[in-house]
Chains A and B, each alone.
Chain A
Amino acid sequence: MAIRWLACLPIIVIFGGVFFVNHVYPILLGMPFLFFYMVMAILFTSVCMAVIYHFDPANKEE
Chain B
Amino acid sequence: MTNPTQGDQLADLLRGDADELIRRWVGLAASSLRGRMTEAELDRELREFFAVLVDALSTGSRDIKDDAYADARVLLEELSRTRARLGFSPSETAVGVFALKRAVFELIERRGNDGFREVIALSSLLDDLGLWTFEFYSRTREEIITEQSEQLLELTTPVVKLWDGVLAVPLVGTLDSARTQVVMEKLLEALVESGAEQAIIDITGVLAVDTQVAQHLLKTVMAARLMGAECTISGIRPQIAQTIVGLGIEFGDITTKASLADALLHALRRAGVDVVRRRNQAV
State yes or no: do A and B come from one complex: no
Q: Identify the A interface with B (CB < 8 A).
A: none
Q: Identify the B interface with A (CB < 8 A).
A: none
